[in-house]
A and B are shown apart, each in its own frame.
Chain A
Amino acid sequence: MLIYVYCITNKEPNLNGAKELVRGLYFISEQGLYAVVSEEKEEEFDQANLEKNLSNLEWIKQLAVLHEKVIEQIMEQAGVIPFKFGTLFNNEQNLKAMLVEHEDEFKTDLDQLADKEEWGVKVYCDKEKLKQTVDVQNEEIKKIDDEINASSPGKAFILKKKKEELLDVVLSKTLNTYIQESFDQLGQHCEESRLNRVLPKEVTGRKGEMILNAAYLVAKDQVTRFNQEADRLNPDGKEKGISLDVSGPWPPYNFCLPRAKSRGLSANKKINNE
């Protein structure tokens, strides 16, 4: 059996709720740290099957969702450091050795993350809709429209092209300003922020393009303010073609520093597999 790690916390977790999600869930404690883990079949993760499983979208989907749901249960009770999907140990001793090795960093991180939550903000834009609103609001564009109406078909054709170009410029300006302002305004109610890559439409399944993908670490007592600010920034989405979506609270996935890849090899060698 392999040990799969979900997260660590510094308070003895009550796993009653989470056990409904993953039956074999338990915790391993060391130095006042608690790793929430489950036993997994080795076959699932051995070389041959792993490759097969990893190319199976359903398999990943299922495990990833469970991974998230388990951590969500724990974080209702205490601060957590969420692990990346697929952190596995051969046995309890190796996992404990890892906890000992990283004890200080984990404790520091948990202290720093205490009473804070991650919130996600994504902004989507329906370009065509936005064009229509820009269309009626912008003076320059109105002027071109008038000219188009008063021109011969040939001239009108050229003017229309000019209008398209102008629209694009106005559009990017509007969007840039909006995104910059939103990112900054929300940043005033958080401890830290991260800018992530925008996800393609195929993934989001949204009509509009994602134009901002940000994560914020928000102090719990600021969460209401943060959400109010997000509400305020959300333009009348449907009308304007821009919508700002907030999700959370998330485990602080975006705010765990990446660790060195090395691990206590000496400890690893000493403890052989049974």
Chain B
Amino acid sequence: MTQQMMHANQATNLADILERVLDKGIVIAGDIKIQLADIDLLNIKIRLLIASVDKALEMGINWWQQDSYLSTKAKDRAMVNENKALKKRLERLEAK
């Protein structure tokens, strides 16, 4: 009972509902195919659901990406390589 109350009191956000009803729940192909993802709902999905993994990354929240360490490393390495290449080029240019 009290749990039910809590549900109501917390004024379940519309986004909470849409997120679940449109995107989750069991998927059974009925007689009518509503391709939620294909039709214009896409536009809602973009507005509502599609990911803000980017935003999270912006904030430095990347702990669930298991390869985040590697990918940061890879980025560093790419930068080091680029630096080296640029330095060499500079040396060549200065030598002329």
A residues sitting closer than 8 Å to B (CB atoms) are 2, 5, 45, 50-51, 54-55, 57, 60-61, 64-65, 67-68, 72, 76, 81-90, 94, 98, 102, 117, 120, 125, 127, 168, 171-172, 175-176, 179-180, 195-200, 202-205, 209-212, 223, 245-251, 253-254, 256-259, 261-263, 268
Contacts and interface: CB of A to CB of B under 8 A. Distances in A.
Interface in B1-40: 3-4, 6-7, 10, 12-32, 34, 36, 39-40
B17 A64 contact: yes
Contact of B49 (A197, A212, A245): A197
Contacts of A45: 32, 34
Given A172-B59, A195-B64, A268-B31, A57 B26 contact: no
B21 A200 contact: no
B85 interface: no
Given A83-B28, A86-B36, A88-B34, A204 B15 contact: yes
Contact of B26 (A60, A175, A211, A259): A259
Nearest 5 CB-CB pairings of A with B: A172-B60, A253-B24, A55-B40, A84-B25, A86-B34
Nearest to A245: B10
B70 interface: no
A269 B29 CA distance: 15
A135 to B, nearest CB: 17
A98 B29 CA distance: 9
Interface residues of B, number: 48
A198 to B, nearest CB: 5
Nearest to A46: B32
Majority secondary structure, A binding face: mixed
Interface of B: 3-4, 6-7, 10, 12-32, 34, 36, 39-41, 43-44, 47-53, 55-56, 59-64
Contacts, number: 174
A82 B61 CA distance: 31
Nearest to B22: A85
Contacts of A202: 47
A252 to B, nearest CB: 9
A89 B31 contact: yes
Contacts of A180: 63
A186 to B, nearest CB: 15
Contacts of B60: 168, 171-172, 175-176
Contacts of A2: 31-32
Contacts of A203: 15, 47-49
B18 A64 contact: yes
Contact of B18 (A61, A87, A205): A61
A248 B49 CA distance: 19
Given A51-B39, A179-B63, A211 B56 contact: yes
A197 B31 contact: no
Contacts of B19: 196, 199
A200 B16 CA distance: 12
Given A50-B39, A247-B12, A254 B24 contact: yes
Contacts of B22: 60, 64, 84-85
B47 to A, nearest CB: 7
